[in-house]
Amino acid sequence: MERIEHRACFGGWQDVYRHRSEALRCDMNVGVYLPPQAAHGPCPALYWLSGLTCTEQNFITKAGAQRYAAEHGLILVAPDTSPRGDDVADAEGYDLGKGAGFYVNATQAPWAERYRMYDYIVDELPAWIEANFPATGARAISGHSMGGHGALTIALRNPGRYRSVSAFSPIVAPTQVPWGEKAFAAYLGDDREAWKQYDAVELVGSAKEKLPLLVDQGDADEFLETQLRPRLLEAACEAAGHPLTLRMQPGYDHSYYFISSFIGEHIAWHAAAMK
């Protein structure tokens, strides 16, 4: 692995590393914030999954999360959103291919060769973090939009793996909205039953762990009714008896202005769960 950025930040260090991913068969960039407490002993880790078009840079430069991670003693891990490289399959538009991995394991050509973001996030990335950084093994997961979808589905499918989960503006039912339908048809093929393993609304009914879900959603989000549809998750959680805190935030949109306004509360939520 190679450290390619190293900046002092709130008493700790905001770094970016490049490492080889065997799951994705390419080099990946990962933002790692080490709080000041990490100089004295291991700390729990919060994994952040970003949304469409993003890299590791969006969260670490726009969310203002380091201030709160330093306060609570959390490592922040912010990976890229897809495999990268000149020989990695891509497509026209922003919602498929590079920058749009959707945190699934693709099964269809040409995507299946590299697009295995589910395996990367669930297994390879935490193993790499815990082998190379002062991390305790206590994990939480969060994300925005496509990354909120990833955080919710990964937490629901992996009981005991995470102490807490939250999301900003998540795509809660990708099998029912245009972003998800386009991506899943390409990555997973035409079998809609196979899509359900990556759909939070479908997963809550069979979740083996009732891990409480915290979701913040802006009511001025331009994608609210067409792509995000948080009320579908609310109804599914109510039917399944799954704990959900859905906060509709007046006036907020889909941007990092929204995320930065509430990221401190999310980090406090995760810190309390990981103590």
User: What residues are paired with 215 via a beta bridge?
Assistant: 167, 246
Active-site option among 145, 164, 166, 169: 145
Q: Is 80 a catalytic residue?
A: no
Active-site option among 144, 242, 254, 266: 254
For 217, the token pair is 């959603």
Active-site option among 95, 221, 242, 266: 221
Q: Is 253 a catalytic residue?
A: no
Q: Is 6 a catalytic residue?
A: no
Who's near 187: CB < 8 A, 6+ residues apart?
A: 102, 104, 106, 107, 108, 111, 115
- What does 150-196 look like in DSSP terms, one character per residue? HHHHHHHHSTTT-SEEEEES----GGGSHHHHHHHHHHH-S-HHHHG
Contact of 129 with 141, CB cutoff 8 Å: no
Each residue's pLDDT tens digit in the chain (275 positions)?
Answer: 999 999 999 999 999 999 999 999 999 999 999 999 999 999 999 999 999 999 999 999 999 999 999 999 999 999 999 999 999 999 999 999 999 999 999 999 999 999 999 999 999 999 999 999 999 999 999 999 999 999 999 999 999 999 999 999 999 999 999 999 999 999 999 999 999 999 999 999 999 999 999 999 999 999 999 999 999 999 999 999 999 999 999 999 999 999 999 999 999 999 999 98
